[in-house]
Amino acid sequence: MPPVPSPEVRATIAEKLSALSLAVETSPGFDRSSPQASGGLFYIWDFVKRTEYMLSELISGPPMMRNMMGMGGNIPPEAAAASKAVLEAFPEN
């Protein structure tokens, strides 16, 4: 597996994703509530939003997902071990 991009590269990617998301959202042909009416713009927007989320998970670490799911509090040892294994699988250069 390739290494995790550096913090600088991740920040650049996040900025570009944000700019693309804004460009799609402000496009006159974009309608978030109707994928059919938006054509391909909806699917580009959906891809960008999902990629932003995955990048935020990479930057913020595994506990963020638990908080978003309303699962705050202590992380069970099994989840901590799994998170550690994931982080070790993707070294930061």
User: What is residue 15's predicted lDDT score, i.e. its pLDDT?
Assistant: 93
- Tens-level pLDDT at each residue, the chain (93 residues): 567 778 888 889 989 999 999 999 999 988 888 888 878 898 899 999 988 888 877 766 655 555 555 556 666 677 777 777 777 777 665
pTM of structure: 0.59
Query: Which tokens in the block code for residue 74?
Result: 């202590």
Asked whether residue 2 is domain-assigned, the answer is: no
Q: Quick check: is 37 in a domain?
A: yes
Q: Is residue 1 part of a domain?
A: no
Q: Which residues constitute the domain of residue 29?
A: 7-89
Residue 29 lies in a domain: yes
For residue 11, being part of any structural domain is answered with yes
Q: Is residue 32 situated within a structural domain?
A: yes
In 3-state terms, what secondary structure has residue 39? coil
CA distance 21 to 47: 9
Question: Rounded to whole angstroms, how far apart are CA atoms 8 and 4?
Answer: 11
- Tell me if 47 is assigned to some domain: yes
CA distances from 81 to 37, 77, 84, 87, 92 (A): 45, 6, 5, 10, 18
Number of domains the chain contains: 1
Assigned domain for 77 exists: yes
